């Protein structure tokens, strides 16, 4: 995932209650517009959205290929088959490739910074005799 400054914006105290990665909670929502087209370029998809987008892509493409072949065979026109298939591919790309907000309906909930401070990252120990036990303890966290 591309790194964003969620922690720093939330830590600045602007939106302490908000823990999503959406730009609305980063504290700089006044910069970004509300149109879905530009939202698609800024936000990314969540996991559910990616799976949904991939499934849609496969279904659209296979359907385009089958429909194009059927139409070309029935109308006895090779050029028609190519045109329908090209249209289907372009439609699939328009629906699937950009980060539409529709694919971001289950956004990830990042950990709040105050919560993260309660569980600090384990420090590397200089004592050689207890280094292995400390590493095991940190892994259990």
Q: Minimal distance in Å, beta carbon 108 to another protein?
A: 13
77 in contact with another protein (CB under 8 A): yes
**x-marked contacts with another protein along 110-129 as a string, rule CB under 8 A:** --------------------
CB atoms within 10 A of CB 136: 9
> What separation in angstroms does the CA of 119 have from each of 38, 127, 138?
37, 22, 11
- Considering only 81, 104, 107, 110, the residue that binds another protein (CB under 8 A) is 81
Residue in the block written with tokens 């602007």: 14
58 in contact with another protein (CB under 8 A): yes
Whether the CB-CB separation of 100 and 35 falls below 8 Å is answered with no
Q: Which residues does 84 contact at the CB level (< 8 Å), separation at least 6?
A: 64, 67, 68, 71, 72
Q: Which residues bind another protein (CB under 8 A)?
A: 1, 44-45, 50, 53-54, 57-58, 61-62, 64-65, 68-69, 72-73, 76-78, 81, 85, 89, 92-93, 96-99
């Amino acid at each position: 995932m591309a790194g964003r400054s969620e922690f720093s914006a939330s830590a600045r105290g602007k939106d302490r209650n908000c823990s999503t990665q959406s730009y609305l909670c980063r504290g700089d929502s006044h910069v970004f517009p509300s149109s879905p087209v530009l939202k698609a370029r800024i936000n990314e998809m969540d996991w559910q959205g990616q799976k949904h987008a991939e499934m849609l892509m496969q279904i659209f493409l296979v359907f385009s290929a089958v429909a194009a072949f059927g139409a070309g065979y029935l109308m006895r026109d090779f050029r028609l088959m190519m045109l329908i298939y090209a249209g289907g591919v372009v439609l699939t790309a328009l629906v699937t490739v950009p980060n539409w907000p529709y694919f971001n309906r289950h956004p990830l909930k990042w950990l709040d910074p105050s919560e993260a401070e309660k569980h600090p990252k384990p420090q590397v120990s200089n004592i050689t005799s207890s280094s292995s036990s400390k590493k095991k303890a940190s892994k259990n966290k």
